[in-house]
């Protein structure tokens, strides 16, 4: 099938060939991915661009940590997604990590208790999602790795404290401090018309210590001000309120599906799933299993989102959460 590449794509590809630095190459590849026509004839090209983007990201991260010397404080993504907890001191970020995971960061009633990122794994049904508490942000305190930790995350939770004098100011200052390092947080993970060089991260506000805001007055104010831009969830990390809603909101916000691999001739069995972005196709799944599967893929059989169990599907078939898939090469 002809790829029918647009002039915008060809221009981005020409710039890619001339790009000299990894960040220039990255910018060109992102432009190529956004301008490439999305149809069956370009599927393999899209998969190849995504693979090259992932390789450059890893390389850039490695180079950054080498330059700084010593171990990197940028936490590598693990599990089904990386979720960072950001906010001012004392808002309950460590308590939230303790409530959701087996990690035990110190929880204390004084500021700046957590000095380095705390990674931990939160179970959600049959997957693990990585939560990372970042050292608190303030005017005088912004760890250099914080920007990179937010940039390479899939989701940010802005943790504010409903027991504090001004939780609204806490949210404002967190957003402003991140904007100083060219990061914008938004409900959808995209913002129209941003200049090059900015990163946009999908985020939600976690209004913690709702046990101290019994009449929900502060929460109502917060919703009035922010709900258009960012979803807000009131919880109590310490008293365990609304934690299950937050856990599933985190999973939903990651926009991932779980897909289970089945070998031909083997029984239907939901082993550890592969996690893929919503909208992923059979070909994306094959690439996640092994690049040889992607290169030689003929078709697949799917149990789940199809009309008939074990139905044959082609490489552009869009998979759904819970599908079991057999790959044929």
Ligand X SMILES: Nc1nc2c(ncn2[C@@H]2O[C@H](COP(=O)(O)OP(=O)(O)OP(=O)(O)O)[C@@H](O)[C@H]2O)c(=O)[nH]1
Binding site for ligand X (CB under 6 A): 89-95, 107-109, 111-114, 136, 163, 208-209, 211-212, 236-239
3 state SS of 257: strand
From the list ligand X, Mg ion, none, which binds 89 (C-beta under 5 to 8 Å, kind-based)? ligand X
Q: What residue has token string 């303030």?
A: 138
Nearer to Mg ion, 71 or 109 (CB): 109
Nearer to Mg ion, 92 or 300 (CB): 92
Nearer to Mg ion, 105 or 273 (CB): 105
From the list ligand X, Mg ion, none, which binds 150 (C-beta under 5 to 8 Å, kind-based)? none
CA distances from 198 to 155, 201, 269 (A): 16, 10, 43
Nearer to ligand X, 49 or 205 (CB): 205
- The minimum distance between CB 93 and Mg ion, in angstroms, equals 5
- The minimum distance between CB 164 and Mg ion, in angstroms, equals 15
Nearer to ligand X, 114 or 280 (CB): 114
- The minimum distance between CB 262 and ligand X, in angstroms, equals 43
Q: Where are the alpha helices (DSSP H) in 137-216?
A: 145-151, 167-180
Subset of residues 102 to 141 that bind Mg ion, contact rule: CB under 5 A: 113-114
- The minimum distance between CB 235 and Mg ion, in angstroms, equals 16
Tokens encoding 116 = 């380095």
| Residues counted in the chain | 329
Phi, psi of 148 (to 5 degrees): -65, -35
Select from 42, 46, 90, 94 the one that contacts Mg ion (CB under 5 A): 94
> Which residues, at least 6 apart from 317, have a Cβ–Cβ distance to it below 8 Å?
281, 282, 300, 302
Size of the site for Mg ion (CB under 5 A): 4
Please provide the DSSP assignment of 259-327 as one string: EEE--TTSPP---SPEEEETT-BHHHHHHHH-HHHHHH--EEEEESSSSSTTEEE-TTPBP-TT-EEEE
Strands annotated E in the chain: 82-86, 118-124, 127-133, 155-161, 183-186, 199-208, 232-234, 256-261, 274-277, 299-303, 311-313, 324-328
Nearest to 222 by CA among 211, 210, 238: 210
DSSP secondary structure code for residue 38 in this structure:
-
From the list ligand X, Mg ion, none, which binds 123 (C-beta under 5 to 8 Å, kind-based)? none
Nearer to ligand X, 7 or 109 (CB): 109
Q: Is 280 in the site for Mg ion (CB under 5 A)?
A: no
Nearer to ligand X, 95 or 280 (CB): 95
- The minimum distance between CB 201 and Mg ion, in angstroms, equals 20
Binding region for Mg ion (CB under 5 A) out of 56-64, 86-94, 123-131, 151-159: 86-94
3 state SS of 187: coil
Nearer to ligand X, 28 or 153 (CB): 153
- The minimum distance between CB 116 and ligand X, in angstroms, equals 10
Nearest to 95 by CA among 9, 50, 161: 161
From the list ligand X, Mg ion, none, which binds 91 (C-beta under 5 to 8 Å, kind-based)? ligand X
- The minimum distance between CB 231 and ligand X, in angstroms, equals 19
Tokens encoding 118 = 């705390």
* Contacts with Mg ion, residue ranges (CB under 5 A): 93-94, 113-114
């Amino acid at each position: 099938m002809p790829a029918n590449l647009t002039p915008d794509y060809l221009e981005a590809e020409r710039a890619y060939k001339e790009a000299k630095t990894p960040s220039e190459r990255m910018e060109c590849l992102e432009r190529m991915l956004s301008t490439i026509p999305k149809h069956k004839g370009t599927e393999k090209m899209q998969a190849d661009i995504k693979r090259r983007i992932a390789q450059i990201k890893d390389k850039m991260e490695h180079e950054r940590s080498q330059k700084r010397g010593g171990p990197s404080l940028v936490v590598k993504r693990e599990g089904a997604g990386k979720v960072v907890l950001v906010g001012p001191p004392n808002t309950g970020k460590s308590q939230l990590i303790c409530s959701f995971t087996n990690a035990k960061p110190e929880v204390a009633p004084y500021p700046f208790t957590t000095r380095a990122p705390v990674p931990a794994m939160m179970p959600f049904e049959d997957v693990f999602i990585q939560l990372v508490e970042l050292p608190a942000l303030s005017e005088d305190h912004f760890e250099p790795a914080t920007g990179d930790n937010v940039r390479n995350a899939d989701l940010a939770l802005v943790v504010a404290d409903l027991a504090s004098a001004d939780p609204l100011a806490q949210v404002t200052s967190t957003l402003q401090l991140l904007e100083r390092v060219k990061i914008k947080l938004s409900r959808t993970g995209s913002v129209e018309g941003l200049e090059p060089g900015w990163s946009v991260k999908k985020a939600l506000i976690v209004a913690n210590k709702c046990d101290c805001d019994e009449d929900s007055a502060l929460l109502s104010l917060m919703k009035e001000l922010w709900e258009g831009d960012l979803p807000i969830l009131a919880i109590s990390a310490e008293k365990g309120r609304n934690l299950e809603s937050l856990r599933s909101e985190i999973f939903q916000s990651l926009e991932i599906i779980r897909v289970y691999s089945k070998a031909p001739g083997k029984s239907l069995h939901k082993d550890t799933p592969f996690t893929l972005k919503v909208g992923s196709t059979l070909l994306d799944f094959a690439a996640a299993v092994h690049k040889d599967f992607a290169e030689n893929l003929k078709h697949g059989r799917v149990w789940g989102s199809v009309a008939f169990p074990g139905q044959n599907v082609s490489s552009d078939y869009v998979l759904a959460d819970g599908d079991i898939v057999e790959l044929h090469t």
